Amino acid sequence: MTITAKTIKMLWGRSGARCSFDGCQIELIKLSEAGKEDAVLGEEAHIIAQSKDGPRGEIPIESPRINLYENLILLCPTHHTLIDAQPKKYNVDVLHEMKKNHEFWVDSNLRSANRAEEFHYIPDPTYASLCDHRLVHIWKYPQAHIICCSFGSNPVQILSGIWKASGIEFKRILSSNFDQTPEDIIIVGEAEPEVEYRCDAEALEVTLFTYDPRATAFVPFVTIRFEHDRPIEKKIISIRLSPDISPIEPVLESLNKTRTTIDSQAIEKELYHLRNIGISVPHQALKWANKLWSSWWCDGYLAESLKDIEKQFELIIDAESVE
């Protein structure tokens, strides 16, 4: 399996066509005046190598995931050479953090601050009648109209064109069926972590958040892209959370050990530790999680956490089939 055109577009788009190495951010497309000597300098670098003998190749990863967006970082030739020459210094964690910081920089600095916001709190009778809840956004494009309704608090703008909310649902009406019932795209409950979302002429993107014990905070987990010219079930899922490269054995031993009392916080932390390790091997990790249902501590909110983690593994596995 090679890197698909779709993955390349996602990587270049999220990177702003600039090198992701800390402090570089050089433009990776150089245009000539005549247009005949244009140069593309960027290289799609693997975070975990394709070969076990390659840079960082000793880290476990399922082979279908090697060429997915989550395992790639866009670099200039100089810094691609550098990270592969010094794999211990530029390990998996360092590169994922570098990529995350660079994408945040792109969101903060390269998106047009002057783009008109298509945001409506004023009810539109035609579109409000299609919602079960309060209409808060309408995006109207030639291919589709995207409707957003809220049953929670009002969305908050965090960057130009990027919003954050919970208790929210998205619907779509294709241009060929404006008189039909809208399709459901995605619903985010009030009890779930807030999501970030944006919409443009090509797609709606929704970023789901999850708890990460490494940061002791909620962080981006996956971004789901719903392109207007594709069926909703053909969504594109990109993993945003970096994998943990710790050995799994101590975590499984901790979760399976006999206990006299339940330390719910410690168990929940280990569950999310398991999730982080399992990002690169989701099929195997899902089996580990399935076996934990027989544990005597698996009740109440710990059972809910385990259920959510299983759903996250399933979402990671789904990401393999969207190319």
Give this prediction's pTM: 0.76
Q: What percent of the chain has pLDDT over 70?
A: 90
At 132-175, the pLDDT tens digits run: 788 888 888 888 999 898 988 889 888 778 899 999 999 998 87
Q: What angle do CA 200, 190, 10 make, to 5 degrees?
A: 30
Q: Mind listing the pLDDT tens digit of every residue in the chain (323 residues)?
A: 688 888 888 899 889 999 999 989 999 988 766 656 778 889 999 999 988 899 999 988 888 889 988 899 999 999 999 999 999 999 998 999 899 889 888 877 755 444 444 444 555 667 777 777 888 888 888 889 998 989 888 898 887 788 999 999 999 988 776 566 889 999 999 888 999 999 988 999 999 999 999 888 999 999 999 999 899 999 989 888 888 888 888 998 888 887 778 889 999 999 999 999 999 899 999 999 999 998 888 888 899 999 999 999 999 998 876 55
Domain extent listing, the chain: 5-109, 125-241, 249-318
How many alpha carbons lie under 13 Å from residue 272 in its C-beta half-sphere?
22
